Structure 1
């Protein structure tokens, strides 16, 4: 079932608003960059034109006010000012509020809309004010450049009327781009007995001479691209129109368009009648096809100019719910494939084994392809934070610049959505607590403008996101005093910085001297930690007083299917993310005795702490004479987990735990094995903390 047109418009408009915000922030830094001005204008024009087509007249009228101003900016009549950018950002928020209202959100304040419209009219010169209510599309729709002629075939789906779209509105908008010849094709209209009055049987051939590029033409059909057949071809490329001898003949055009076979053309060329008449008389082409080809021929004769077209991009919009369902089905398929492999391994049947291996290969490819489809660049989230930093810094009277890198790093869309709020909390804290006021920075020998650097990078099957500022850093003594006051540590306890700084992620923990509308109530950083842990991630914080703070967040690429290591303790099965596993070694009774009661094992002359999972989960039964230690690495720390046996690698389809088990320590989820039994997924970061606490307690007891 296809999306409703209104839903398609709103979805596209939201994407355009994100692009608009990014362009406006760039324009604030480079007000003379006409490429950015063009991007702002195109975004506004697309929202305006499509809004009018789908019945969003209020949005269309309001956006026209902004478009008129930026049309004058494009022509060099008025300059870009900071006030103009501020008003545009407010207008962008107002358009978003209108879209939200159309989707069932809160009612928009119409007085705010009127005030913003008046503010934009104030930017217009007096000579333009009277004309600001008139459409400027026909005059300024096309991009500056050489004139070219395009052949366009628009064949809408038969049910386009039922979707609320009027094809004639699209054709009118297309005609505004330049000089157009439109030919309606009627050969698909059935007899009256078979005619469905609610269906569209017409399609159109358009010969368009314009300065607009392919993208501008395609934008006219952007909201019906999934419900039509559309071809856009430049017909004056290769310099053919500069050569008077290269005039295309009617038959050549028909063959090129695919309306006539070349053999049929050669057969009728000997006739004395005009070619078009002969072709129609012989029933080889319809009269409409000849009319369209003649229109193209006339346009080619008139038009002089040449520029090769850009390649058209091919894409397909799919609702997110369908992708989620696809991933769920692939997960179930992985589980069934695991059962098939296990069954084949237990039988001496070469045919079954061969089929099992082939299914395993295909399922693995399908899994990787499906997960890649859900991958999005994290830059879509990064771009939102530029506005956050700009507005919040202005409210606090600070000068702050946001730098980003690694915006093309890809993550599962679900992870990106759930990562937004934690990153907002961290950046707000950096702005409020980290970056000093400009005068204080100057006194400290720093530039007045502070910097927050947001970076993303791949690390195995995880992504590391780093938020770094050059502010005053964390006050170690204040954090320690607060931790002692709250009973989190003793007065004589000494903790390394990385452990001490973890206290700021506790609920109600704040060292702020005053409460502001940004922070200071001790809420936020505990939300960050819970959100990151819910993503099976880890968070680390480092700070240098007077120089700044760096927070590193490590999260998995996807929450759906992971490669893991399957281990066993007695009859119970557990899995660990394979990306965290470094190696597996044996643990004998002799090794345990040599540690003198401490949970340490020597690995190539290095002592590694370990956690006996049998004791941690209180699993009864006899320990084997030789146990296995799975060595993991997390944020540079090596910790081992003692199990009875290492079974091997496993494709783990992650299943969330029920509400009763969400607080189970050391467990982050579950998975179904090939034999139908359940294996628990170990929460490695939480278990690492447990191992370190045990080792610390053992050390203090000596």
Structure 2
């Protein structure tokens, strides 16, 4: 038996519906004459209103009805879509979200203010109240005054109510169109002993007298047409829709609409589309994120147990045990890969959130801003996506407030009036690089240095490289804004960005060209759970290097080691590759092995060799977080449990290379 809370399911589906409405509104901002977008937004509002009423969210249904009415007028051509209307419905959409999340809370007069804004956007100051129809031309008014009588017969599939369709909601919407006479046909109800309480066996025969035309009736059934049987006939009078006008005859024949099948249609002909629809619905299954996290923990434990089994099998002469061990290793690897795919989501789900942010900030600042997204299909672990949302908000707001100039300043400097903010994502080895780029004024180095010196972050005149100077903007409380605004000026945000990225074992790079713009790149690991690693030994300790960063392995003889003392370079296919001696970096106090190995890794921007004593082999690595005592040890990104129960540290190659270069620079200065 399912334990899912129906209200929780509604909230999830409502959130998806609101996201679709928001996306449609933002697209409509750039294409106000696009009827398809208007129809899409209308359908989303219609769905949200109907679902809300079905699940008891009456305040949501009543409020959404006004927005739906506004877009219905746009859809019928009574009013034009404007940027003011889009802005009003976007603001109303935020209130709808609040009504979904907190239906019983006191929202004050927010709803009334938003409806007044919506009314002004649709009809101006002289417009009638939002719930009343607006004045139309005399011809349209005369046509609307004609009463049309319709006979509507419909039946729904037996599993309709189990799938969330409430026939009473459809009848209520028909009643809203005009005077109704409803007759229920109960002839198909089976005997009591064969009756399933979740199945629907009733059909309805409705006589409707309304000023509305045929399209209004179609809208009532717009979301259930694929699975139902529907017949709409004009009883007498002239339908408002020109296509429905027929020659008058003594016995008027019912108007037949091709897209609907009459109730008398053979049921077998309707089963195929219904089966296809149900098959499509079964292709996707909604799973709570907590269950995925729990499953990942179990897979991690399985990988550790499999590593232990492999170690025991390698020390045994039992052929059967080795065979079973290899089979378990293969299956656990496939299970791990499948689990990783389940946790991966495209960054498009993250980037889509910023369209609304940029739209609102453009209206607030008076700047003309274009948002460009690239690499939206790049996939990242869902946990990474969740943690990156807030840091990216700070970075985008900073680009707009500090980076982009006003339209007048841009035109004066020879640029286009519209500034561009580009969000891009790409995969590089075992990490994903997310960049926020703008074509604004760039970072003012003099102001950064002056602010850092006045704040005591650096000493006056202290020499700093360009990279070190730009990294100062991530210091807590640092801000170069001249005044505090709604966007920035309080010195909070960028330090949070750095802490969050470092907690994800990532790094931040900044490139800025005065007058041409800035680019902030976040280098984040693809996953935080399980990785393929290369297990190596340095002295008596064992370490794991992420296999995605490894390019190749070489042997370093004692003669080459001695010959490279003082320069730390190795010749690799006519190119010089710098290398670090991990034995010296970790201060193991041991003598080097006779046959040392060099593991050549790529950090995304350069290639570096790591000298180790022994390469043990590949290892499926379950990443365990470090204790709080090791928060400041950036050289290691985590730890893992080996097959014999011992612990091996996982190297963070980016921080490791930076630390090694800094140590060698200090040694050269000391020498």
- TM-score bin, normalised by smaller chain: 0.7 to 0.9
CA RMSD of aligned residues (A): 4.0
- Contact 1:186–1:202 (8 Å) recurs in 2: no
Separation in 2 of the partners of 1:477 and 1:149?
76
Q: Deviations over 1:239-262 (max 9, x none)?
A: xxxxxxxxxxxxxxxxxxxxxxxx
- Does structure 2 retain, via aligned residues, the 8 Å contact 1:207–1:295? no
Deviation at 1:365, TM superposition (A): 2.0
State the 1:6 CA deviation.
0.9
Q: What's the CA shift for 1:99?
A: 2.3
> 2:613 corresponds to which residue?
644
Cα distance in structure 1, aligned partners of 2:444 and 2:92: 41
Aligned to 2:36: 35
Kindly state the Cα deviation for residue 364 of structure 1 after the two structures are TM-superposed.
Answer: 1.9
Which one is further off, 657-666 or 397-406?
657-666
Counterpart of 1:576 in structure 2 is 545
* Contact map agreement 1:207 1:296 (CA 8 A) in 2: no
1:51 partner SS: helix
Deviations 1:648-673 (A, max 9, x none): 11111111123233332312111122
Flag the 1:662–1:127 CA change in 2: closer, same or farther, 3 A: closer
2:157 matched to 1:153?
yes
- Residue 625 in structure 1 maps to residue 594 in structure 2: yes
State the 1:512 CA deviation.
3.6
Cross-structure match for 2:193:
190
Q: Which segment is superposed worse, 589-598 or 652-661?
A: 589-598
Paired with 2:506 and 2:183, the residues of 1 have a C-alpha distance of 57
Aligned with 1:120 (options 118, 121, 138): 118
Number of the residue aligned with 1:517? 486
Residue-by-residue CA offset, 1:585-632 (whole Å, 9 max, x unaligned): 333443343344454444445443433333433434443233323222
Deviates more, 1:319-328 or 1:514-523: 514-523
Which residue of 1 is the match for residue 438 of structure 2? Answer: 469
Contact 2:598 2:612 in 1 (8 A): yes
Return the offset for 1:38.
1.3
CA distance in 1 between counterparts of 2:205 and 2:535 reads: 63
Aligned length: 605
Tell me if structure 2 keeps the 8 A contact 1:151–1:207: yes
Shift of 1:472: 1.0
Does the residue aligned with 2:352 lie in a helix, a strand or coil?
A: helix
Alignment of 1:543-554 (within 5 A): 543-554=512-523
Superposition pairs of residues 359-398 of structure 1, within 5 angstroms? 359-398=328-367
TM-fit CA distance, 1:181 = 8.8
Partner of 1:345: 314
- Does residue 318 of the first structure (1) align with residue 321 of the second (2)? no
Asked if the contact 2:422–2:438 (Cα under 8 Å) also holds between the matched residues in 1, the reply is yes
What TM-score does the superposition give when structure 1 sets the normalisation length? 0.76
User: 1:503 maps to which residue?
Assistant: 472
Answer yes or no: is 1:50 the counterpart of 2:51: yes
Q: Tell me the equivalent position of 2:107.
A: 109
2:229, 2:263 within 8 Å by CA — same for their partners in 1? no
State the secondary structure of the residue aligned to 1:317.
coil
Query: Partners of 1:584 and 1:182 in 2: how far apart?
Result: 78
**Shift in CA distance, 355/481, structure 1 to aligned 2, threshold 3 Å:** same
Cα distance in 2, alignment partners of residues 215 and 329 from structure 1: 48
> Partner residue of 2:555?
586
In structure 1, what is the equivalent of residue 585 of structure 2?
A: 616
Q: Tell me the equivalent position of 1:542.
A: 511
Match of 1:95 in 2: 96
Structure 2 SS opposite 1:419:
helix
Equivalent-residue separation in structure 1 for 2:227 and 2:403 (angstroms)? 53
Secondary structure, aligned partner of 2:394: helix
**Shift of residue 469, structure 1, vs aligned partner:** 0.7
Structure 2 gaps of 5+ residues are 135-151, 207-213, 232-260
Q: Quote the Cα distance in structure 2 between the aligned partners of 1:648 and 1:599.
A: 25
Residues 1:664 and 2:665 aligned together: no
1:232 corresponds, among 227, 251, 260, to: 227
Corresponding position of 1:297: 265
Q: Residue 609 of structure 1 contacts residue 695 of structure 1 at CA under 8 Å; is this kept in 2?
A: no
Q: 1:70 Cα shift? A: 0.6
Whole-angstrom CA distance in 2 between matches of 1:150 and 1:654 = 58
Deviations 1:368-393 (A, max 9, x none): 22221222221121111111112223
Aligned match of 1:10: 11
CA 1:133 to 1:413, structure 2 compared with 1: closer, same or farther past 3 Å? farther
Alignment partners' CA distance in 1, 2:403 and 2:16: 32
Given that residues 628 and 645 in structure 1 are in contact (C-alpha distance below 8 angstroms), is that contact kept between their aligned partners in structure 2? yes
Worse-superposed segment, 557-566 or 182-191:
182-191
**1:179-200 deviations in whole A, cap 9, x for unaligned?**
9997676448438xxx9xxx82
Question: Is the 8 Å Cα contact of residues 48 and 60 (structure 1) preserved in structure 2?
Answer: yes
Instruction: Return the match for 1:200 from 197, 202, 218.
Output: 197
Structure 2 distance, partners of 1:628, 1:482, is 47
> Contact 1:562–1:652 at 8 Å: present in 2 too?
yes
CA deviation after TM superposition for structure 1 residue 53, in Å: 0.9
Q: Distance in 1 between matches of 2:537 and 2:216?
A: 65
Q: CA deviation at 1:47?
A: 1.2
SS of alignment partner, residue 432 of structure 1? helix
CA separation of 1:671 and 1:583: change in aligned 2, threshold 3 A: same
Structure 1's unaligned 5+ residue stretches are 135-147, 222-230, 237-292
Check the 8 A contact 2:161/2:200 in 1, yes or no. Answer: no
Counterparts of 1:208 and 1:385 in 2: how far apart (Å)?
48
How does 1:172-187 map onto structure 2 within 5 Å? 172=171, 186-187=189-190
